[in-house]
Structure 1
Amino acid sequence: MRSLFGIQPESNILKSSIQVDSSRSPFIKERIEVIYEGDNISEILEQVEQLHLNESTFKVIFVKINDLEADNKIEYDERRKIERDIGWRINGEADVRHPDLVFGIVTIEGRWYFGKYQKNKAVWLDHVKKPRSFSTSLSTRVARAVVNIAAPNPEGLQVIDPCCGIGTVLVEALSMGIDIVGRDINPLVVMGSRENIAHFGFQGEVNIGPISEVTKNYDVAIIDLPYNLYTHATPEEQFSIIKHARRFAKKVVIVTIETIDHMIEEAGFEIQDRCVANKGLFSRQILVCV
């Protein structure tokens, strides 16, 4: 949330002028692209009469996520009534099963908002079933979040994952249309990464070789520091990876199972933000370094 929207909201609903596709993040459930707003439902009803959908069918959904206190919660019957009342005012044909357009109505901070509704498609769940995987790889959910932290505004950015392993981060980035290349020193995992990318119908470049051979400059690097059986790295090797990343990337997001603040600072980075992600017995720090 801090990366995508620049703030960390106190509640589970956010009003923002920043437009983010709801399917980009595992932590966004749904979105309303606001068309009308008002102090009460009556004001919304008046405004939706301006909608003329021609031959498009539609459906109205009352979004249950809101900031109402328990005593003021709107119960099921009232939610359905609000949906029907709005639907009657829209100039178009309603279709609750297969509508061309879905609209949402929600209340937040004492005002009502109506607009185009978009639900998260959870596309990262499809990427769990990939041909090649490691038990210690990032989950697709965390990998997708890491990509969003690294490139919240990806347009025009060139991104590299120089220790890409089996390609979990690459698959998530490519599925979002991000310009990313992969690299790994281990030929076997590079083959696995290429296979995973092809399996989901994506096209991405994955090269074999150490990070020291990267000569091109990138806007962002995503580095899940090697620590598993296949590509274990000593502290010296980890420092070398970070030091090389400093050479060719303006911003680096590092995933580590150890506290390496001193190493990052010695390489010339400043830690801008951080969080912790847990997977079974593993606890990973995700560090944003500039």
Structure 2
Amino acid sequence: MTYDPRGQGRSDNRTPDGTRGGNANPDVFVTNQVDAIDFFRSTPEDPYQHNDRRRPDDDAAGVADVNPFWDRLDRDRIGIVGHSLGATGVSVVQGIEWPARAKGAANPVDAAVAWDNLSAPGSELAGRSVEPRVPTMGQSADYFAGVPKTRPPEPDARTAGFAGWREAGVPTYQLNVRGGTHFEWSRIPTFPTTSWEAWGNDLAEQFMVAWLDYWLKTDAELRAAADDAGPAGGPRGRSTVEERLTDLEHWCERLSFYYRSARYLPPAERRDDWPAGESPRHWYVSEDLRGDC
């Protein structure tokens, strides 16, 4: 499911002050993400409760009380992905105490990907702090809009979020696209990005899909998918999902040489052990993936 948190198009029909139209309030990248997840998980027995607060004239908007695809979804395995301020929202939402569906309800998010970029622990949005809780991947790039650099940047400037997740003992991954811009993940006509060619977007897709497969699919599902083709032409089985996250031979040249990419990942057989304090002695750990290629 995709959604637009700014009150544009067919998304939320009112801004926080009750007026209609565009909404530049960044807090909605947290609050509306919670709403979107709640709607995604709604069923006839457990409808979308936020509609209880709608105004009398809101019926014209054609709101639904239940996700129409509720009977086709697994609501117990949730991954979230966001770009730009959406990435900040993802960084926050994965770790918050769940504020909406029911009193005492647990946060349902199991894995996350933040496209430019994973926020550092302690940073805030919508009055909520970033707290590492679930395996989360950050993706970033060399530039914002392609303006050349006049001097080499700090190599670890893109890994503050990664460092916080690792310090908390939570699996994490950071990829930085060589020559890429902020628009690798949202291709806007005329905006500069390597993804108009087969470069940054392929890298982002390969590792995002592998990351979500790794943390959301069961061993049986991954074994059953062993012969399926992945987004870059490779298989998607249990062992090969691990290989897609650890064998970077095909991707090294696409990693930034300005900013370090990094990895803190348990092997497949220890995927479920890390919350219990599993030692990272046998993990895939690298603070410079390009340098280790």
TM-score, normalisation: structure 2: 0.24
Structure holding more strand per residue? 1
TM-score, normalisation: structure 1: 0.25
- Structure number with greater Rg is 1
